[in-house]
Structure 1
């Protein structure tokens, strides 16, 4: 597998930089060869983007099972347990509680972790940043820049659409994150941001943590 090295060694291609390694724009890099994104042992990586934009696909492929916390996995486990036809809204609070309980246990362990985040949950990034600071490590953001059409197609492919209101809310939040990153300003608490479009995300073969 061809590796580009750690995230700090990947050259910025379009976005501005707000200091060494803080914003890296890989959009437009395409899928030419496999890419590995490396972070320090104990760091936390949060993957954000539109619903249906490819976050879970990236996490499952690149992070593996051991170091990943994906709310989609939690939802699917609960769906298998629930009676057929029971609306998700009925047991959604239980799914969220189970997801954050699993995340809390992983963060307490001090292990490196890749976390799924829908992009609208600034308070989640705040908690993750605080957890990273407590362990003396850093929080990094991987931000997927998918078009609304790509995201809606992804929702249709998995057979699960979000409401128009929720999608608009996610879209506004992700757009703000993209604008800030393109201006060289990572979100509060994030040591770095890596911007990915669909082709460049497909080229990420592994997310690794090294000592």
Structure 2
């Protein structure tokens, strides 16, 4: 069984807004949003598990992964894009080589999944087939898939895009908002996305408190 929190907390939940399942059983969703909830500094999972980080573009997914998961394995599409951008002429639009970036990202993800290593994966939330792939990979290795869902406002996400100097189109942002809203509603009802053993909801404050996403035996 996987563990989340300073000691071990998923699916066991210790905050005041823990979701309850049938017959008073604690559910697999942990809500760490809001000023009255103290978020953990460490999110721990069992070795071999897969963690997917979802949320709006500019909402802090890459920031969280870089700060908390660099030591324990992470696959971030943003890192792949930045590596390709450094190789390409500055005048070349990203749209021209975007298919190559995506191919490189998914190739690296596939290699990591085949290895059986624990991994934290950046997910935009709109591509359900990616979570299905990750869930299948977790099942094959006899482990679990977990969702970390960042709940940021559209204004916070747009400010994050401006800070990194890269915006998504209004159409793409609307698609992301719809996908993340559906994920949030499902989790708030106590149901992680299909294939996920647990979901942890984070806002800006609680996400900023997380300093480590770790895997242990």
TM-score (norm 1): 0.94
SS at structure 2 position matched to 1:190: coil
Deviation of 1:123 (Å):
0.5
TM-score (norm 2): 0.91
| Aligned counterpart in structure 2 of residue 13 of structure 1, from 16, 39, 60 | 16
Deviation of 1:12 (Å):
4.0
Deviation of 1:28 (Å):
1.4
- The worse-fitting range, judged by mean Cα deviation, of 115-124 and 6-15 is 6-15
Equivalent residue, structure 1, for 2:164: 158
Q: Does 1:143 align with 2:149?
A: yes
SS at structure 2 position matched to 1:168: helix
The C-alpha deviation readout for 1:165-208, integer Å capped at 9, x for no partner, is 00000000000000000000110000000000000000001011
> Structure 2, unaligned stretches of length 5 or more?
none
Equivalent residue, structure 2, for 1:105: 111
Kindly indicate whether the alpha-carbon contact (under 8 Å) linking 1:129 and 1:190 is maintained by their aligned counterparts in 2. Answer: yes
State the alpha-carbon separation in 2 of the partners of residues 43 and 33 from structure 1.
Answer: 21
1:181 to 1:12, Cα distance in 2 relative to 1, 3 A: farther
Map 1:23-172 onto structure 2 (within 5 A): 23-29=29-35, 35-172=41-178
State the alpha-carbon separation in 1 of the partners of residues 13 and 215 from structure 2.
Answer: 16
Kindly indicate whether the alpha-carbon contact (under 8 Å) linking 1:13 and 1:24 is maintained by their aligned counterparts in 2. Answer: no
Kindly indicate whether the alpha-carbon contact (under 8 Å) linking 1:15 and 1:184 is maintained by their aligned counterparts in 2. Answer: no
- RMSD after superposition: 1.7
Kindly indicate whether the alpha-carbon contact (under 8 Å) linking 1:7 and 1:39 is maintained by their aligned counterparts in 2. Answer: no
State the alpha-carbon separation in 2 of the partners of residues 101 and 7 from structure 1.
Answer: 33
The C-alpha deviation readout for 1:26-75, integer Å capped at 9, x for no partner, is 00157968610111000000000000000000000000155000000000
Aligned residues between the structures: 209
